[in-house]
């Protein structure tokens, strides 16, 4: 606002200075301020975009339709993923250790809805993809959500990360150090976080073997192409 106000004051000051200089000079004939009326362009207005090309129509529709489809031959996951592919605020916040605090933060950031899909492949890798949409009336909730996730991904040791092409600051991460608990096989992981408009994307991959970079990058790129 300060820059805008300064710009306006500069224009006013310049106009006043010009007037004061002219006041001491001989009158001069200035060109008339009126200009000829321009003819309005004729012809039909451009056709509206079809629904499949209009991003606003797509993202305000069934958000689940924008998720990657489950590959053929994969199995249903054995973990809960919301109601019919949807996660409400409480369910989504429940994925965080500090779920109560996260609930309040997401509410303030304008959480609108979240769609989720997941599967198990024939190599025993599990995949979960979430699209989280924000109202973005007062804050850029999608950006904040991604930045928060990227902060924690970067904080883990033995982690490599790469920019997801075409996403600006979206990144994919492969964690080299597995989760290990007595009585269980080591669990390796990878994740990806990016946003487009009011939607943040997050992908989680787990497996008993290290997750290949190609796998997480391919999932992230194909998912972002759908937004």
DSSP E strands: which ranges in the chain? 86-87, 111-120, 126-134, 159-163, 171-179, 187-196, 199-207
What is the structure's pLDDT at 191? 98
CATH label, 55-225, candidates 1.20.1630, 3.30.70, 2.60.420, 3.40.1000: 3.40.1000
Q: What's the distance, CA 43 to chain centroid?
A: 38
What is the structure's pLDDT at 53? 57
How many C-beta neighbours within 10 Å does residue 161 have?
19
Q: What distance in Å separates the CA atoms of residue 73 and residue 81, rounded to the nearest whole number? A: 20
Helix and strand numbers (H, E) in the chain are 6, 7
Phi-psi region of 73 (alpha: psi -120 to 50; beta: other; left: phi over 0): left
Q: What distance in Å separates the CA atoms of residue 215 and residue 114, rounded to the nearest whole number? A: 23
pLDDT above 50 for 17? no
At residue 170, the 3 state secondary structure works out as coil
- The length of the chain is 227
Query: What would the pLDDT profile of 107-132 be if each residue is shown by its tens digit?
Result: 999 999 999 999 999 888 999 999 99
In the predicted model, what is the mean pLDDT of the chain? 80
Q: What is the pTM of this model?
A: 0.73
Give 226's contacts (C-beta < 8 A, 6+ positions apart): 66, 67, 68
Query: What would the pLDDT profile of 86-112 be if each residue is shown by its tens digit?
Result: 999 999 999 888 889 999 989 999 999
The structural domains of the chain, with segments of one domain joined by +, span 55-225
What is the structure's pLDDT at 26? 45
Q: What distance in Å separates the CA atoms of residue 127 and residue 192, rounded to the nearest whole number? A: 11
CA dist 187 → 62, 71, 182 (Å): 33, 22, 12
What is the structure's pLDDT at 225? 96
């Amino acid at each position: 606002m300060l820059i805008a106000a300064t710009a306006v004051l500069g224009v006013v000051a310049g106009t006043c200075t010009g007037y004061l200089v002219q006041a001491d000079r001989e009158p001069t004939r200035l060109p008339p301020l009126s200009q000829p009326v321009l003819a309005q362009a004729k012809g039909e207005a451009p056709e509206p975009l079809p629904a499949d090309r209009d991003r606003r129509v797509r993202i305000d529709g069934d958000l689940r339709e924008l998720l990657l489809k489950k590959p053929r031959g994969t199995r249903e996951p054995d973990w809960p993923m919301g109601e019919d592919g949807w996660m409400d605020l409480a369910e989504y916040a429940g994925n965080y250790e500090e779920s109560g605090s996260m609930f309040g933060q997401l509410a303030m950031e304008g959480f609108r809805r979240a769609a989720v899909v997941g599967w198990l492949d024939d190599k025993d890798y599990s995949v979960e993809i979430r699209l989280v949409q924000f109202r973005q009336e007062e804050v850029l909730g999608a950006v904040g959500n991604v930045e928060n996730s990227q902060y924690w991904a970067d904080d883990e040791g033995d982690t490599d990360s790469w920019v997801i092409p075409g996403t600006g600051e979206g990144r994919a991460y492969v964690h080299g150090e597995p989760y290990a608990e007595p009585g269980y096989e080591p669990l390796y992981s990878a994740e990806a976080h990016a946003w487009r408009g009011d939607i943040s994307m997050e992908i989680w991959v787990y497996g008993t073997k290290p997750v290949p970079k190609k796998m997480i990058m391919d999932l992230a790129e194909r998912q972002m192409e759908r937004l």
